[in-house]
C-alpha cells in the first residue's frame, strides 16, 4: 500500500468518528428527555449536565474531523 492510499484510508476512518458523534449527541438528548419526562421536577437541575454531555460528544466529533482534514491536506 502506498503512502497516499494509507493517508486517505486513515482520513476515512477518522471521518467515521464525526458520524458517530451525531449518535452520541442524539443519545445525550434522548436520555435527558427520558429522565425529564419521568421526573419533571428534576429536569431543571440536570440541564447543565445536558450541555456538558452535548459539548463532550461534539468535541469528539470535531476532533475526528480535524484529524481527517490533517491527514488529507497536511500529512
Tens-digit pLDDT profile for residues 3-17: 888 888 888 888 888
For cell 447543565, name the residue.
48
| Domain residue limits at 21 | 3-74
Q: CATH number for the domain including 26?
A: 1.20.20.10
Rounded CA separation 25/61 (Å):
10
Look at residue 30 in the predicted model and tell me its pLDDT: 92
Rounded CA separation 27/31 (Å):
6
9 in Cβ contact with 72 (< 8 Å): no
Give the confidence band of 19 by pLDDT, cuts at 50, 70, 90.
Answer: confident
Question: Among residues 50, 51, 57, which one has the least CA distance to residue 24?
Answer: 57
Coil/strand/helix, residue 28: helix
Query: Count of domains in the chain?
Result: 1
Amino acid at each position: 500500500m502506498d503512502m497516499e492510499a494509507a493517508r486517505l484510508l486513515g482520513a476515512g476512518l477518522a471521518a467515521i468518528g464525526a458520524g458517530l458523534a451525531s449518535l452520541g449527541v442524539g443519545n445525550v438528548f434522548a436520555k435527558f428527555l427520558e429522565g425529564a419526562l419521568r421526573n419533571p421536577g428534576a429536569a431543571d437541575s440536570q440541564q447543565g449536565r445536558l450541555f456538558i454531555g452535548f459539548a463532550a460528544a461534539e468535541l469528539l466529533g470535531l476532533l475526528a474531523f480535524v484529524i481527517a482534514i490533517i491527514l488529507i491536506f497536511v500529512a
